[in-house]
Amino acid sequence: MKPSYVVGETTPPLFNMTIGEALERAASNWPAGEALVCPAQGARLTWRDLDRRAGEIAAGFLARGLKPGERVGIWSLNRLEWVLTQFACAKAGLILVTVNPAYRLSELEYALTKVDMNAIVISPPFKTSDYGGMILTLAPELATSSPGQLRSGRLPFLRLVVQMGEELIPGALSFAALEQEGRAAGAEALRAVAAGLRPSDPVNIQFTSGTTGAPKGVTLSHHNILNNGYMIGGYLGLAPDQRFCVPVPLYHCFGMVVGNLACLTHGAAIVLPGEGFDPLVTLQTLADERCTVVNGVPTMFIAELEHPRFAEFDLSSMRSGIMGGSPCPIEVMRKVISQMHAPDMTIGYGMTETSPASFQTSPDDPLERRVSTIGRVHPHAEAKIIDTATGAIVPCGTPGELCVRGYAVMLGYWNDEAQTAKAIDAEGWMHTGDLAVLDEDGYCQIVGRIKDMVIRGGENLYPREIEEYLYTHPKIMDVQVFGVPDERYGEELCAWVILREGQEMNAEELRAFCRGQIAHHKIPRYVKFVAEMPTTVTGKIQKFRMREMMVEELSAIGLTG
């Protein structure tokens, strides 16, 4: 039996340039090509426009005294200014810190303090998020400060607050004024800075979700994320005539790399349907803008497919896309291919620490492999699957921990050598924490998280396998399986189920569907029917929260050990 070890292709060659240089390349290659479309803001920029405006904002940051290597936060949902800030920071050698728009005071303070953030760009209030109000709560001195002159006792490193929109909090500089100041300053200082930048320089810090302790700042270089976007775009067949709808949050790699940088490297248009995800707005944008490519996590695709108005929209322009972020149910993938007119839809796998993608399916793969695996390892990457106890590479067909090595592995966790050493071993392997199986042709299947694996009476059970079977029931729209403590077996299986509209089912009907089809010890003991699952802002299912809620519920009636 072959060992579970694979090496990616060596073509296409990697870029050896900064993101700022890549933007100049795009402006030179496709000057009049549409680069960024934001229908909600009535904005359309060509690559020439995007390069010019990003350069002016970069010059504005430098004119305000920011220096290469300093950290600039972006705290906003998906807007034109988000993309401009991303590229401006890259041009100026500033490290963009992407802040989760759902953060509240304690989380914001942690993020600001963890990286000693020197400036932050915030959006106008959105729904229940008053970004300016929260900044003023943490730094009340802002109200009596001149823009760029903040001196805060609680946040001593934060000097500049830039706010999008026309209604500003006291002490903030408007985004428009920052751009104007850069235009007035000219490009001389920016050119001098750009000449000293290197592809290996850090350009982005992204916080992990922090489901197991405090969030860690994943530090990524130009080389990491520019090339990962380029490789992903190749799988998606991106080109200057393609239009990529990006409904996922830009603060996450799935938006800013898989969307923005994939388009940058291939000349495709970035289309932002709105600030936050809305399935109806996404469908409308796909149709109105004649988009050819879309990305999303499974919960987003489910929401689009199940929307009562789905059939009204002409999606005939669609061709491809990428589904990822969490395990992609086989049945959902089949529907996306057939009902969303996306025959070349791919599945991608990765993590923020690997920029993010390391595996992806290809439109050339057999359909069964495209819907049931995460494909094969990306170019210029290596992967292996190891025994979690011994660290030895396991034979093909045997589950173990997936490890990845190559250009896409992060520089490390910001200012946290101990956590970095736990994640990346001495040989440069990133330990993903995911359980996977590799077949002899190099196709990989994710069977769960190490922490999600359920050990029932000594048997290793993989929730993903059980979920895939339950997804085939016509009444079930979504399902998640996880373990809860049990006195007799150590752990027992629990399933949370969302039914399709108008359907009814009870626990016994679900178990009867399983009997004789999957092994008896894989049949969930506990079944709960719910209207929604707890998720992160990016749509990732939070099984740990389900487990906590279920343990509390079962403990109250004396059923768990």
DSSP 183-227: HHH-SHHHHHHHHT--TTSEEEEEE---TTSS--EEEEEHHHHHH
What is the reported pLDDT for 454? Answer: 87
Q: Is 404 helix (H, G, I), strand (E, B) or coil?
A: strand
The pLDDT-based confidence of 212 (bands split at 50, 70, 90) is very low
Q: What number is the average pLDDT over the span 295-309?
A: 93
Alpha-carbon gap, residue 152 to 251, rounded angstroms? 26
Q: Helix, strand, or coil here: 245? A: strand
Beta pairing, strands 269-271 & 34-38:
parallel
Q: Could you tell me which residue, 537 or 211, shows the higher pLDDT?
A: 537
Tell me the per-residue pLDDT of 483-492, one tens digit each, with 9 for 90 and over. Answer: 999 887 888 9
pLDDT above 50 (res 522): yes
Q: How confident is the model at residue 462 (pLDDT cuts 50, 70, 90)?
A: confident
First to last CA, the chain: 41
pLDDT of residue 213: 60
pLDDT band at residue 560 under the 50/70/90 scheme: low
pLDDT on residue 520: 86
* Percent with pLDDT over 90 in the chain: 83
Look at residue 331 and tell me whether its pLDDT is greater than 70.
yes
**More confident call, 193 vs 370:** 193
- pLDDT per position as a tens digit, 342-400: 999 999 999 999 999 999 999 999 988 998 899 999 999 999 999 999 999 999 999 99
Strands 357-360 and 376-377 come out as antiparallel
Q: Taking all residues of the chain, what is their mean pLDDT, rounded to a whole number? A: 94
In this prediction, residues 504-517 reach a mean pLDDT of 95
Residues 404-431 pLDDT 10s: 999 999 999 999 999 999 999 999 999 9
Q: How far is the C-alpha of 114 from the C-alpha of 244, rounded, in Å?
A: 34
Give the pLDDT of residue 325. Answer: 77
Q: Where are the alpha helices (DSSP H) in 268-425?
A: 279-288, 298-305, 330-339, 367-372, 417-423
**What average pLDDT does the segment 161-184 reach?**
97
**How distant is the alpha carbon of residue 38 from its chain centre?**
20
Q: What is the arithmetic mean of pLDDT over 293-315?
A: 95
Residues 124-134, mean pLDDT to the nearest whole number: 91
* Domains, the chain, with CATH or none: 5-14+216-449 (3.40.50.12780), 21-27+46-198 (3.40.50.980), 454-556 (3.30.300.30)
pTM of structure: 0.87
Mean pLDDT of 285-304: 95
Instruction: Provide mean pLDDT across the span 73-93.
Output: 98
The pLDDT of 128-154, averaged and rounded, is 96
Residue 170 has pLDDT above 50, yes or no: yes
Tokens of 115: 């990286």
**How large a percentage of the chain has pLDDT more than 70?**
98
Please choose, from the candidates 489, 401, 488, the residue with its C-alpha nearest in 3D space to the C-alpha of residue 449.
Answer: 401
Comparing CA positions, the residue from 381, 442, 370 lying closest to residue 407 is 381
- CB count within 10 Å of CB 421 equals 12
pLDDT of residue 119: 98
Residue 102 has pLDDT above 90, yes or no: no
More confident residue, 105 or 220: 220
Per-residue confidence (pLDDT) for residue 533, from 0 to 100 = 93
The tokens describing 304, both together, are 């689009």
Q: Give the residue carrying structure tokens 């993590």.
A: 351
**pLDDT for 306:** 94
